[in-house]
Amino acid sequence: DSGEPFKIVINDPEIHHLYVGYYHREFPVARPPYTEDREPVFEYRPDSVFLLPLFNGESDWININSPGFYHFRKDTLNRTGLTLFNHHEGFPELLTADDLREPLRYITTKKEYDTLINDPNSKAAIDNFWLKTAQSPDRAKILIQKYYSNVEESNNLFTSYVEGWKTDRGLIYIVFGRPDYVYRSNDSEEWIYGEPQNRSSLRFTFVKVNNPFTDNDYMLLRSPTFKEPWFITVQSWRR
C-alpha cells in the first residue's frame, strides 16, 4: 500500500546496493478472445532506475508512494529479483468512479467507451450506462453487483504486473463468470464452461508466461471460434 514502510534484508552483507527498476506505464487491457493479432511484446527497459543502498545486508525504511511496480535486483545482468506492486488506492477493491469505468471496456463498443472516458462526470456516466443497458433500476443493480463482483474477484485471483481485471484470465472471468471446471498443470490452465464430456462446452486454455516479475502471468490461446460465444455473452450483459 502507498505509504506503508518496509525494509529489504538479504543474506549477503558484501552487497552494498540493489538496482531498482521502476515501471510506470499504461498497460493495455486484454484483447477479445477471438482476435488473431500478435501478442504485444513487453518492453523490459524500466521507465526509470535508481540504486537502493544496503548496510550490512539491510536497507533503510522504504515508502512506495507512486503507482506502478518496482523490480529489485542484485545485478543488471540477471532479471531474477524481487518485485513489489503498487496498484490504485484500495486495491483490489473498486473505490472510485475510474475504478468502475475502465473495466466496462469489455462490454462496450469503442464509441460507448470513449464517451464514458471523456465524460467529466464519471459517476453519472456510469449510472447512465447501466440504466440504459438494464432498462430498469432494479435490473441495473443486479448487473452492477454481478459485474463488479467479477472484477474484484479477478483482481484477487489474477493480478500480476497488471491488475487482475486487465489480464486474459480476468477478461474471461468477468464476461463469462466463474468456470464450471478448472484443470491445472505446472504450466497451463484449462477452463470449461459446461460439462467436461460435452463437446459443445466452451473451453479456454491459458499457458503460463515466463515473466521475471511474477509467477501469476497466463496468456489465453486465442481462436476465431470464440467470436460467436463472446458476442452472445456480451449481449447477455446488455439485454
pLDDT of 80 higher than 80: yes
* pLDDT tens digits for range 178-189: 999 999 999 999
Q: How confident is the model at residue 235 (pLDDT cuts 50, 70, 90)?
A: very high
pLDDT of 225 higher than 80: yes
Q: How confident is the model at residue 31 (pLDDT cuts 50, 70, 90)?
A: very high
DSSP letter for each residue of 59-90:
---B---SSEEEEEES-TT----EEEEE-STT
Q: Show the cell assigned to 223.
A: 481462436
CB 3 within 8 A of CB 65: yes
pLDDT recorded at residue 179: 98
User: Structure pTM?
Assistant: 0.92
pLDDT recorded at residue 48: 94
pLDDT recorded at residue 153: 98
For residues 8-36, average pLDDT: 93
pLDDT recorded at residue 3: 83
pLDDT recorded at residue 64: 85
Give the span between the Cα atoms of 32 and 224, in whole angstroms: 10
Give the span between the Cα atoms of 142 and 153, in whole angstroms: 17
| Mean pLDDT across the chain | 93
* pLDDT tens digits for range 107-144: 999 999 999 999 999 999 999 999 998 888 999 999 99
Q: Show the cell assigned to 179.
A: 468456470
Give the span between the Cα atoms of 40 and 69, in whole angstroms: 19
* pLDDT tens digits for range 32-57: 999 987 777 888 899 999 999 999 99
For residues 71-98, average pLDDT: 90
For residues 163-168, average pLDDT: 96
CB 74 within 8 A of CB 18: yes
